[in-house]
Amino acid sequence: MAVERETKAQRVERIKREKNPWDLLPDIQRWATTGFDSIPPEDLDVRLRAWGIYTQGDGAGVRGKHVPYFMLRIRIANGALFAHQMRVIAQLAARYARGVADITDRQNIQLHWIRTEDIPEILERLQQVGLTSLGACGDVVRNVTGCPLAGIDHEELVDASPLVYEVNRLLNGNREFSNLPRKFKITVSGCKHWCTNPEINDVGFTAVRRGDEVGFHVQVGGGLSSRPFMAVKLNAFVPWHRVLPVAKAIAEIFRDSDVLRENRAKARLKFMFLDLGWDADAFLAEVEKRAGFKLDPAVPEEVPNDTYRDHVGVHPQAQPDLYYAGFTVPTGRISAEQLEAFAGLAEQFGQGRLRTTLMQNIVVLDIPAARLTEFRAAAAVALPFFALDEASVFHRGVLACTGSEFCKLALTETKAFGSKLADELQERLPHFNRHLKINLTGCPNSCGQHWISDVGLMGIQVKGDDGSLVDGYEFFLGGGLGAHASFGRRVAFKVRANDVAEALARLIQAFEETGENSESFREWAVRQNEEQLAGYLRTVAARAAD
């Protein structure tokens, strides 16, 4: 009789059931002496992820293979760091990660090239300063994101960061939530600009005013990947003190949806709406049942336009005479020395507070007005490669996922390509000064969020001159969130990575020539038909091949 093979989903579920991934610390400590090869496949592929630890690619882009090193992701709730914490990350990057780190689009910081024998020491150093990698990957509640300007922004409705920390504490490390069907992403924003992208989170709380009271609206089930879905808004006003039980109830609904566990590709909350017949009313009723209370209906609100907000430059805080300074970190790639320099600036000029942003940047807080000139001079010396207000719109706008350098699923390299693309666009279009989001993603999984940017570039393999496969990109244009939320339109045009800058420059020139005065790139792109867009993109090489 034929023996039925376990599906991928069944294997992962079995492994998680057999041993709670959060009980792995003694094993991690043991493997540090017995070595990489002694780690059982079940732990390597599944359980270690719940510790924010993933096997990585070889650094040179050989696809689909891992090497005996790890990526270790440090979870940073609300992106909030103190200088001493950033200094420890800098030291870990220098000592264990070949001097480099990556800021992610969920405010985390990733290290690569981590050796098995160094993991216990790294985990301990992080713990000593109140940081952790626990729950940064795997089938758990991932880092809870929040507005990088929480508590210092002029326009925020409320400083929601205490809720971010509370939700983080409640759900991460909690054994009740150590085995979800897949990853689960939550954001809480107290700001009216929604720059934490609630529409693409599993749970997005956004502050809203009801008379004198500030509470929250909540949307659920958002996500990207190869089948993007905008979150569904629940008709509920969630008072501040109800945010935690509501977040917990939603996480429970997800955890208990056993049908989602049958297929890893469909194990996200959005598939309850896409495939399982749930709607917003039924979902809210289930939330209220589990939470044990009814919620008032939602109140009228103004959904923000898709404002460009990278928090770069020097701007006043809500606190009198204090400023924040946001630095562009193109593609999020940063060296240990630069992390150390940021920590030094925050200590020397501020109160030691820093934030990472969802556009992979760093913000230094609390700089006194009287010291701004001195601060700018010191920053120019300490961080000559980063700019405050001077970075080009292209360097500011580029965001990139990990790509084939370290990600085993990637089809293309993204980090170096993203920086080079910004350089080339700046060279070709030095006068262009309109904000433009260019999101790069090395495969359809969309970690670089190509669906929701002005220009989304998704990595593919295309034929090179000699017929061999080389890195290439597909274009997704006019995506965005907010009042006119829509996913980028896939344009029927593929190009080699080397030709992307030329294609994009032609497209931007067409926007300059034919766009109306106040029109954003996104509005213009939405107005064009696909043939027009493909025509603008067509490069010299592509035209020659026609």
* Residue 443 makes contact with ligand SF4 by CB under 6 A: yes
**Total residues at interface with ligand SF4 (CB under 6 A):** 13
Taking CA 481 as the corner, what is the angle to CA 185 and CA 484, rounded to the nearest 5 degrees?
145
List phi, psi (to 5°) of 237.
Answer: -105, 120
* Residue 402 makes contact with ligand SF4 by CB under 6 A: yes
Stretch binding ligand SF4 (CB under 6 A), from 264-272, 395-403, 474-482, 491-499 = 395-403
Q: How far is the CB of 311 from ligand SF4 (least distance, A)?
A: 23
Kindly tell me which residue out of 107, 143, 201, 441 binds ligand SF4, with binding defined by CB under 6 A. 441
User: Closer to ligand SF4 at the Cβ: 57 or 326?
Assistant: 57
Kindly tell me which residue out of 122, 447, 455, 537 binds ligand SF4, with binding defined by CB under 6 A. 447
Stretch binding ligand SF4 (CB under 6 A), from 1-9, 176-184, 401-409, 525-533 = 401-409
User: Closer to ligand SF4 at the Cβ: 161 or 412?
Assistant: 412
Smallest CA-to-CA distance from 328 within 368, 369, 371, 384 is with 384
The structure tokens listed for 137 are 């990957």
Contact 327, 346 (CB under 8 A): no
Kindly tell me which residue out of 445, 461, 498, 532 binds ligand SF4, with binding defined by CB under 6 A. 445
* Residue 401 makes contact with ligand SF4 by CB under 6 A: yes
Compute how many other C-beta atoms are within 10 angstroms of the C-beta atom of residue 5: 8
d(CA 47, CA 55): 12
Smallest CA-to-CA distance from 312 within 225, 411, 399 is with 399
User: Closer to ligand SF4 at the Cβ: 317 or 449?
Assistant: 449
* Residue 298 makes contact with ligand SF4 by CB under 6 A: no
Q: How far is the CB of 69 from ligand SF4 (least distance, A)?
A: 16
Q: How far is the CB of 531 from ligand SF4 (least distance, A)?
A: 28
Residue 475 bridge partners (DSSP): 457, 491
* Residue 407 makes contact with ligand SF4 by CB under 6 A: yes
* Residue 472 makes contact with ligand SF4 by CB under 6 A: no
Q: How far is the CB of 66 from ligand SF4 (least distance, A)?
A: 13
Stretch binding ligand SF4 (CB under 6 A), from 88-96, 104-112, 350-358, 399-407 = 399-407
Q: How far is the CB of 60 from ligand SF4 (least distance, A)?
A: 15
Compute how many other C-beta atoms are within 10 angstroms of the C-beta atom of residue 276: 11
The structure tokens listed for 463 are 């034929």
User: Closer to ligand SF4 at the Cβ: 168 or 402?
Assistant: 402
Kindly tell me which residue out of 222, 448, 472, 479 binds ligand SF4, with binding defined by CB under 6 A. 448
Between the CA of residue 483 and those of 200, 210, 303, 304, 486, what are the distances in Å? 14, 20, 5, 6, 9
Contact 346, 352 (CB under 8 A): yes
Residues whose CB falls within 8 Å of the CB of residue 163, separated by 6 or more in sequence, listed in order: 188, 205, 240, 243, 244
Q: How far is the CB of 403 from ligand SF4 (least distance, A)?
A: 5
Contact 103, 332 (CB under 8 A): yes
* Residue 228 makes contact with ligand SF4 by CB under 6 A: no
Residue with tokens 């090497």: 67
Compute how many other C-beta atoms are within 10 angstroms of the C-beta atom of residue 370: 8
User: Closer to ligand SF4 at the Cβ: 331 or 441?
Assistant: 441
* Residue 146 makes contact with ligand SF4 by CB under 6 A: no
Handedness of CA 329, 334, 335, 336 (dihedral sign): positive
The DSSP H or E segment spanning 300 is none
* Residue 171 makes contact with ligand SF4 by CB under 6 A: no
Between the CA of residue 338 and those of 94, 168, 332, 351, what are the distances in Å? 11, 28, 12, 19
Smallest CA-to-CA distance from 219 within 298, 136, 139 is with 298
Kindly tell me which residue out of 190, 330, 403, 515 binds ligand SF4, with binding defined by CB under 6 A. 403
User: Closer to ligand SF4 at the Cβ: 409 or 462?
Assistant: 409
* Residue 410 makes contact with ligand SF4 by CB under 6 A: yes
Which residues here bind ligand SF4, judged by CB under 6 A?
401-403, 407, 409-410, 441-443, 445-448
